Each structure stands twice: as C-alpha cells, then as structure tokens.
Structure 1
C-alpha cells in the first residue's frame, strides 16, 4: 500500500475513486491454476488501469498491457456505447477496465479508446493493435484463441487472428436494433453485461438481438450547453415496453438459427451458458415469479425445459445461477427452508445456517461458495461430494475469491485493514501487491443488532470524542433492497467515519430488504418500498440511543444517494418528528419513472398495483403543506443532469411539488454528471457542501482542531 497522502480526506476520496485505484481486481485463473490475470493501476491515485499476470509457480508478475504505451493521447476517447456500459457497471477508472481471454489463458483482448488490442500472456510482446472500421465494444476471444468477436456500430464482427481478416456476421436492420450487446435492463438490473457467447469449439456464437423500437424515448438535456442537442435514450420505465430481446445461433458463415422459446411469457434473458454439457438459456417472465433453464439444440434452435424455480413473490435473477460440474451435475442457487442455498442435482449441499451470497466458481467438481452466517461477514467455502463443505476463508471479515485448477485467489478485508489478495496453490502462497492509497483514517466503529428485528447497525464515533458529551446524529443509509452497507470491512465505512470526525455520531442501518438475513427478510419490502425501510431506520436509531445515551435525538440528520436519497427525503417529509435535516442525492421520487425490472420486482406493474406506487412515492408527501405537527425540515437535493439511470426529472418533480406547497428546500444541479460522480472536483466538493449544510441545519459546531 502507498504511504499516507497529505491531501484532505475528501480530495483523496475523490482522487482514489473511493480508494479503489491501485487495488487488484478483475481476476481470471487459468484452468491449470498456473497463471492469474488481473487488472490494477500503477498507484492509488492513478486512474489508468493496466492488465497484469502472475505466474503462480515462480511468483513472477508481468505487466501485459499498459494503456499509456499503447495510446499516446492524454484523455481516453471512449465511444458512447462503451461509456454506457461503464455507467451500468459503475466503472470509475480508465484504461483497460475489462478484458476477455481464451480458455487456456494464453491470450487476452480488450478495447482502448475504441481500438481493439490483442495481448499475449507469455513472451513479453507488446499488445497488437487490430485494425477495425469503427469503435470496438465488448471484444471476446473464442475458447481456442483463434478468433475475436466484437461489436461496432451495433453490428457483430469476427476477426480471424492468423489470417488478419475481419468480416461482419450480423448487421442491424434499423437504428433501434443492435446485435451482440446487452440491453439497458440486462446490464443495469440483471447484471448481464454481455450479448454474445462463443461455443466451446469456437465455431459458432449465440448472439442477442435487441430491438428498442417500442421502448419510450426520453431526452437527457445538457442545460449548461444549450447549443447541444439533447441525447435521446430508450428508457423502459415501470409499466412500459421493454426491449424485444431474441437469441440466435450464428455460424461463422453467417448461417442463422433462431432459438425458440415462449418470448411472450419469458421476456427477460438472464444468462446464456454454453459449455461441454451443451447450450442452455436462462429466462424469466415479466412478473419475475419464475426462472427457467432451457436446453437448446444448436442445430434447430428448439428448447427443452431443464429446470424451473418459482416463487409467489419473486425469484432472484443473476447470471451464473445455473451451471454444471465436470461430472454433469446441475448446480443452482435457490431458497429452501428460509435460506438461500446451493443445490446440486436438486439436493441442498449448504445448511440453512449459511445464507449463500453466490456461487463464485466451479472447478471440475469443486464449488467455491460465498455466504454468511452473520450478516456483516462474508465467508468462503469449497464443496465437493466427498469432502462436503470446507471453510476457505477466516470466519471474520469479508472475503471474495476465484478458483480454477486448484488455485484459489482470495481477496480479504476486515474493519481494521485494507484488502489483501492472496494466491494459494497447494503449499505455494503468493500475494498480489495492492497500490491502493492509505486513507489516513482509522475507524472508531461498533457493530450492533438493534431493535426487535435485530437490524444490522454500525455506529461510528469521532476519534476525539469523550463519553458524556452529546453528539448530533447523522444517519447514513442506502436502505434499498439488496444494497447492504453494514459489512465487517473497512472501506465501506470510511466516508461515514469522515462525517463522524466532523462532529456527528454516524449510524448506518441495514433494514428489511437487505441480503444476509434470508428470503423472508428480503421480501418484507414487497409492494411497499417506503414504510418498512423508514420504520427500520427509526427503530434502530431509538434502540441504539438506549444503549448510547450520548446520541442527541433532538438533532438527527440523514444523507443518502440513489435509493438512499429517496430514503433521506422520505425521512424528513414523512417523519419530521424524528429527522431534522436531509441531503438527498439523485433520489428516486416517483417509482413510475424508474426502470421495469427493478421497480416491478418490488412494486408490481403500476396499472395493477397503483396503491403500492402511491404509498412508495414522495410526491404526495411533498405536496402536503407543512403544519405545526409536521414542520418543514431543511432539505438539500442533489442531482446530476446527465443521469440516465435516475433521471433528473425525479428531482425536478419533487422540487415543483415542494414549491407548490410553499416548502423551502435547496436544489443543487450538477452539470454533466451522471448517476456516478467520478469527477474529482465534483466528488470532493460534494462531501464538503453536505457537511456544511448539515452543520448549519442542525447547529453543529466545527470539530476541535
């Protein structure tokens, strides 16, 4: 790790992209376990990501691709489609932010400034620029390493590496059609970031065709530059039409075979799996109450149902939920007996005491499983039919990993340390060095199970605070379903600790809807995204104050972004008796303006569940004039005007309703800023402006020098 910086925390927080730069990520392990590929920038404030490899046997680490040696421009020229993909992935760095390899991990391809590069992991060769017409998106090597498929201009192309020739396989029939890309809903909500998949032999592909013609057109304007034409985006808002997504098996000669399933019933394509056991597609209906795995005949395109999971509320859809072991057993994640569990050929192999977070890898017949026995900790286990479950990480902290060829790459952190990435193969153990910056900020944190529902809660206090001195409270939630904030890890709490150092007792609560507590806890927000999450914030706060009487409940602020922004505004509008000031960043204010897959999972369709949308909206609360019993509280609303996820209309409609009701508030528009705030100056000053606003609103003096 680098030495502590002389920069202030807000500046360092911004420069390091929340202390993510310089840390290893994007790990791939070769099938024989002998090589590990990964991404990492050269320093904790360096935003240019490089591609590296580690030879496990020797410990030799090699720089495979350095963007600064390949592109002589100072600023990466990212195509619009790639910018959109990075926004969906919440990618804040630049350079090589993604790569794809062949099966043996001998080659890699990646885009840089719209150009296509081919890198070799052995030999020390400089990555080769492959000439293409147009900007390249999402290049993928075939498993044999002989061909590259990529998207450019919405068309799918294939490059033959040895012959150095490129030909176009599929060309869009209209401007609203693309081949080989993930649609907005798939990328933003289902976490499916790709739209084409190679066969194991590299002789055919499955390709997604996305037709957005029926999707409503929204316009994202740039008011700071009125001469610019607003950007037209296809946005599938709740209750409106989704993109029409279909799949085809496409040969290298251009022969096309449509994959046939009941698209009218199952319109979401969750995943495509093409392995040695065959070709499979995982699909889901619009109401998300089922998840079906279909076996596909690549010759005819006919499908057969292999596995089906149903639920009266919803079934979680995540790529990788249905895979096969080397011996052919079907592995899936499902909930049984009140827990998320791993099933092998229909039989649970994890106990109900473990809430499974994910199936991270299948190495032959060995599974690498992520899960929790307590909500704040995330552990790793391996499972085989002979040995059963075997712990693969310490019990405390937060751990993630990859496994192939018997080599386990594990990233581990806890409340006192940065993430350490180790590579273990038998008796050999290596560490992949992290260059992440030292935040220069230690945590004064305690974790609690607060209230009757034993809500996972973090309390952060100033390092200089002495017991017996009252502290104003700042609630710092995300609060939305599947958006856990309270982890036994250092980095998720750094910003909260900085706010504590400004003179607050900071409280972070994971209420109903969060993972780690089981399906019932997650489904408690069904048809109401307001009441349960707000109640849980209040219940945990009051329970914590009983244990900690120095918490001053006469001065309670709340801040949040996205769903957290919605929750912050909801708190001061609906419960001003508890909350006395709020900062709402990029808040969802009217759920009919948010996307189909996320919103309809929790609230249903607006034409059917109108009451659910009304009770989860902020607009009626904002339209009610303030009264003596419900006084107006200081509210700052922040929104990026270029946000194409939670569009600025959310804030503008809320502000209009507040103004019509005569309710004072502040709006801070951010020109050119999307749902993320990677711009250094913007990110730094946002923290400073928030703390100044909260101090003024709650009467909090500056902390001691």
Structure 2
C-alpha cells in the first residue's frame, strides 16, 4: 500500500518549466473519477502509475488496500482514438491517455470502458478483462444498472450489446449526416457542462437519450497551417447570436421502441423575467436522468433566465412541469441540486449566514453531504441532518470535496502543502488512496491578502531570497479573473507553483479574484452582467495599487500582466485600457472578438449581439486596437476549437492597421490546453523573456 506521502521528487537538475510540462501541470499521478459502491466496500478510480506517466489505469480500493484492476498496456498498445472521443476529451480538457473514463453497474461490481475504440468489460472480483465485439469504434460506453447490457456510440448511432458479447444491435440511427445520438453538442459539453447524453432506466429496459441535429449551426473551418496538403476540419460552432444545434430527447427501449419526448417550446411569458433582450425558447437541455417516478430532464431558455424541470412519461413522451426557476440575470446550476430539487428543498431550515453551497454530494441515510464556502479561498465538506443541523466535516484550510457510497465517504483534500485522498468508514479512516503527483522543484509561498474596499482576494508571491527594503521588485499580474474559476485558493495548484517560479526570477507576482469569479455570492458573480470587462479590469488595477501600498517594495512603474483564455483577454485589455497601471502584457488564447465565442457562454453575460451590440463593442478588443501603447505578445494554439485562432488573427490585423507594434506566437497543432513538452515549458521561458525585456528587468 502506498505510504502516506507518495509525492515524488523530480531530478535536481530539472527546471520548473520542464517539470511543469512533463507532469502535465502536476496532474499526472492524481486519482480521479472516484466511484464508491452502494455498500461502501469498493472504491474505483483512474490514475497513472506515477507523476510522469500519461497512461491511466483502472484501480480498485478494497479492504484497506488498492490494486490495479485493469492496466491498459496489458490489453495491447493504445491505437487510434475515434474522432468523437477526441472531441469529448478536448471538451473535458483531458490531458492523458489509457483508461480516462469508465462506467459501472448500480452495485459497482462490473465496469465498462473504451480503449482506442475497443470496448472492454471487467469485474471487480479480479477476473481478466474481456473485449466485447462492437459494430465500430466505441465511444462513451454505459452499463445498465443490473450489469447485463452495455450501450455505446459508434458512427453517431446508439448501439447496445450484452456483457457476454452477444445480442449486439443498433437502437437509434442518425437520420442525416448532421444528426447524432448520445453525443453532446459543443455548447452542452463546453459551456453547460453536460458531457453525458444518455441515462439508463433503473430496470435496464430503456434509455433516455439526447438527439442532436447540428444542421442549423454555422460551419467554421480549422486548418493546419504547417501542412498545406491537409484539408481543413469542419467545425459546427454556434457563435453568439447564431443558431444553436437542435437538442431533443428520446426514450429508447432495448426492444427497439422509440418514444420522442415532447419538450416545451417556450417559457410562460407571464413568469419569464424581462430585460433588454429576452428569448423564451427552450434551446438547452441541462440534465437528464431517471428517479423513482421515471425519466426527468431540465431545460433552459435561450436567454438562460428560466428553467423547467420536467417529469417525462416514458410510454407517451408527454412531459409535466414539476418545478420552475427564474432569475433576472441568468440561472446557474449548482452541481447536484437540479435532480435533488425534485425531492424538495435540500435545506428546509435554510443555510447558515455567509455559507455558499458549491455542490450537493449526496445522502447517506438522513444526512446530506455538500461542499460549501464561508470564505471564498476555501471549500469544505459539510453534512446536514434534520436533528443535528450543520456540521463541517473538513477542518484544515484548503479545497475539499468527497464521494460517498453507503457508510463510506472518500475525502479528496487539497491544501497548500499536500493532496490526500482518505477513505472514511462510519466516520473513521480506513486507509488512503495514493496521490502520486510530483512535488514541484519550486515551493510555492503565496501570501493571502484582502485588498481594497471590496476586500479583493489576492495571492502575493515574493522571491524566497528577497529581503524587505533591499530592492524594488517589478510586478507581474497573473490572474484568470473570469467566471467559473478561482486561482486564489488555499490549495496546491499549478498556478501557485508557476507564479512562485516567476517570483524567483526577480518579480513580485499577484493573482487576483475579482468581481465575476465564484465563491462570493450572487451579487458578486452577477456584477459583470452586461459588462465583462470594466469591473474585472478595475479590480485588477485596484489590487496592484493596494498591494503596493502595503508592500512598498512593489515597483508600480514596472507592471506586467500575463494570462490564458479569459486571463489572456484580461491581459490584452489591461494594456489597451489601463496603460497607466499595466506596462506590458502576454495574452494567450485571448477571446478578443466576443461575437466569435459560443452562444451559451457569451449570451449569458452580454445578451444577444443583435439586440445589445453595445455590450459586445464595449468588451471586445478588436475595435480598441488603436489604443495600444505598451508591449504586447499574442500567443494562440492554431488547433484551438474553443477560442478559435481567428480571435488572435483579427486582433493582430487591427493592430497592424493601426500601426501598433506587437509580437505574435502561433502554436502549431496546439489546442486550447497546451501541455506538450517542448511547447508548454518553452512558452513559460518566452513569457519570462518578453516581460523582462519589456519591463527593463
């Protein structure tokens, strides 16, 4: 059994950027995808063999010990991954290979997974895995609750086969070249967060399946500029203001019977919130599933202000609205709450003041487990029971979550100093699942601050060798600062490590979670409605000034800013609009023209570009290119199908037309998440070199 501290040391001669790339941002070797059996006896998870191996195996923790259940190398070398699986992995930001996902029966006795399109089944009893014949390369297999049938997708069609390999047949075939069954559309996977597109009935007789028709969606084309003989890849991309895919639901019986679900077309106009732009059409399927009453789904309007929870009659496809939700800004679903709401309010007595729920984890008896924050830099596991009230399960400052089954609770805890996965049975530790990630060669030393009148949560990184008053330090701001992600957390993360590395090169580094980031309540989160730029940029500038007042060694005459994705957008905007504070920027994968980003994500914050063009004009960067007076380097993956390269190219074109000097670094073959050795590491050095030269360091 692994020792309590499984963190390996990297070779002493290796620098942080190279280690960062080789460990895929220190993610390799971390257990993930944990599943606990209903009896609490078994815990399944995937994990690579160490902090350098990109191939994940399927593991089992049982009787206080862990063992490999399936090693992908023992099944043969990994071959070509199906295109649909590559897309799924890109949406999930999957960086490794091998067994990256799996599904189980209700009892967690049988497991299915796909490996390079081959379908495999294994038992937790230790028997040898068996390959199951399929009609073609299998994607996203799912096991019926009783463990007798496997559903999978091949060629955009839904198939089913028995676990013994017999009885294979097609259940739902695409009616055209743009139609698919059991595959998530771009918006659902990228912005809504619904990667799953089918759900088995409890008795295994039918599935609730998502049908996607991409024919209304405009086509974009991504090419490989390094290979002019290679044809461009067509991409159905629903940019803001353009048509979405048509997403519907079908109840498919294993006997071949199909019942289309009659989803409501639009929300009730009398209860739907108004606004400068409203669209009551139900275009988004947020979730689906089955409970004791049958299949259910949650649908959301195009403007995201109304959602209906629907009970579905599997025999007729008729639906009944069981719950309605409305919001004047937008509806944001807390993980685990939508299905739970069908059984009534999770907390009938209300929440303690200042506590923000992050996710509902599940129930054990009459005890409900959830994650919540009373301080935005920390997330803890909590328990609620009607008789005992609220109890915080985790104590050490950090970011904690959990998975439960029966009387077993598996705590996944990240603090600043370690990452542990602890198995609790009846509240008592019975062992740990090994965390095999590498310890960084640079030790992060963040100082957590609350700055300014808005108490901006900020992390400050100073060189370990710096002595107060000995020298003025140029400043680098490295924030994400966008919706859905925090970087200022009391938990080990690659952000802390990379920021400390920059600090060791002679900088003071700041990371700031401003308005629009999660963890500080609805008013804080929705303060960017209609304007995703002004308040966010103001918070970054205020944090720099406030930090310098508290730490006089910070040289506010030399301030750089760097970031990726929304953080890259923020960096470019900073040197355009606030050159008085920010003197150089590195902008990676920056969405510079917000009309080029997807419907669900951009319309949520800025509305419809045809109705509220002023919001897009205010927040997009291309039209403001003429304002550039500071050094700027643009970096972009040329295979990025999330923030497509057109963002960088249009912005660069506008900068050239305005006579503005800037640097452009195209990353050939790289997508939105850059982890490849030789690219991710070199990119850090290039960031450093550019900022040093631009700030006269």
Task: Give the TM-score of the pair, scaled to structure 1.
Answer: 0.94
1:675 is the counterpart of 2:672: yes
Match of 1:652 among 636, 649, 652: 649
Q: Deviations over 1:521-560 (max 9, x none)?
A: 0000000011010000001111111100100000000000
Q: Deviations over 1:645-675 (max 9, x none)?
A: 0000000000000000000000000111100
Query: Is the contact made by 1:139 and 1:151 (CA closer than 8 Å) also made in structure 2?
Result: yes
Partner residue, 1:393: 394
1:217 is the counterpart of 2:219: yes
Match of 2:694 among 673, 697, 702: 697
Partner residue, 1:117: 120
CA 1:184/1:364 → structure 2, altered by over 3 Å: closer, same or farther? Answer: farther
Partner residue, 1:311: 327
Q: Equivalent residue of 1:267, what SS? A: strand
Using the alignment, how far apart are the partners of 1:381 and 1:82 within structure 2? 35
Partner residue, 1:356: 357
Structure 2 counterparts to residues 394-413 of structure 1, below 5 A: 394-413=395-414
Partner residue, 1:703: none
Using the alignment, how far apart are the partners of 2:636 and 2:204 within structure 1? 45
More off after superposition, 365-374 vs 613-622: 365-374
Partner residue, 2:271: none
Partner residue, 1:384: 385
Using the alignment, how far apart are the partners of 2:456 and 2:165 within structure 1? 60
Query: Is the contact made by 2:8 and 2:51 (CA closer than 8 Å) also made in structure 1?
Result: no
Using the alignment, how far apart are the partners of 1:518 and 1:395 within structure 2? 23
Q: Structure 1 residue 77: deviation in Å?
A: 1.8
Query: Is the contact made by 1:191 and 1:318 (CA closer than 8 Å) also made in structure 2?
Result: no
Partner residue, 2:24: 17
Partner residue, 2:49: 42
Q: Equivalent residue of 2:543, what SS? A: helix
Using the alignment, how far apart are the partners of 2:456 and 2:245 within structure 1? 38
1:61 is the counterpart of 2:61: no
Partner residue, 2:276: none
Q: Structure 1 residue 267: deviation in Å?
A: 1.2
Q: Equivalent residue of 1:681, what SS? A: coil
Query: Is the contact made by 1:115 and 1:135 (CA closer than 8 Å) also made in structure 2?
Result: yes
Q: Structure 1 residue 361: deviation in Å?
A: 2.2
Using the alignment, how far apart are the partners of 1:528 and 1:438 within structure 2? 40
Q: Equivalent residue of 2:141, what SS? A: strand
Q: Structure 1 residue 125: deviation in Å?
A: 1.8
Q: Deviations over 1:153-199 (max 9, x none)?
A: 10000011246231000111111000111111010011110111100
Using the alignment, how far apart are the partners of 2:210 and 2:617 within structure 1? 36
Q: Structure 1 residue 330: deviation in Å?
A: 2.7
Q: Structure 1 residue 428: deviation in Å?
A: 4.3
Using the alignment, how far apart are the partners of 1:133 and 1:221 within structure 2? 31
Query: Is the contact made by 1:368 and 1:402 (CA closer than 8 Å) also made in structure 2?
Result: no
Structure 2 counterparts to residues 18-417 of structure 1, below 5 A: 18-55=25-62, 58-73=63-78, 76-122=79-125, 124-162=126-164, 164-264=166-266, 265-317=281-333, 320-324=336-340, 329-331=343-345, 343-344=346-347, 347=348, 349-415=350-416, 417=417
CA 1:595/1:515 → structure 2, altered by over 3 Å: closer, same or farther? Answer: same
CA 1:565/1:324 → structure 2, altered by over 3 Å: closer, same or farther? Answer: closer
Using the alignment, how far apart are the partners of 1:236 and 1:543 within structure 2? 41
Using the alignment, how far apart are the partners of 1:519 and 1:235 within structure 2? 30
Query: Is the contact made by 2:110 and 2:147 (CA closer than 8 Å) also made in structure 1?
Result: yes
Query: Is the contact made by 2:65 and 2:431 (CA closer than 8 Å) also made in structure 1?
Result: no
Using the alignment, how far apart are the partners of 1:531 and 1:457 within structure 2? 19
Using the alignment, how far apart are the partners of 2:357 and 2:155 within structure 1? 40
CA 1:365/1:189 → structure 2, altered by over 3 Å: closer, same or farther? Answer: farther
Partner residue, 1:337: none
Query: Is the contact made by 1:291 and 1:317 (CA closer than 8 Å) also made in structure 2?
Result: no
Structure 2: which 5+ runs fail to align?
A: 1-5, 267-280
Partner residue, 1:4: 9
Equivalenced residue count is 673
Partner residue, 1:339: none
Structure 1: which 5+ runs fail to align?
A: 332-342, 627-631, 701-705
Using the alignment, how far apart are the partners of 2:444 and 2:183 within structure 1? 42
More off after superposition, 548-557 vs 678-687: 678-687
Partner residue, 1:424: 424
Q: Equivalent residue of 2:199, what SS? A: strand
More off after superposition, 356-365 vs 390-399: 356-365
CA 1:318/1:219 → structure 2, altered by over 3 Å: closer, same or farther? Answer: farther
Using the alignment, how far apart are the partners of 1:261 and 1:320 within structure 2? 22
CA RMSD of aligned residues (A): 1.4
Match of 1:541 among 529, 540, 544: 544
Query: Is the contact made by 1:349 and 1:388 (CA closer than 8 Å) also made in structure 2?
Result: no
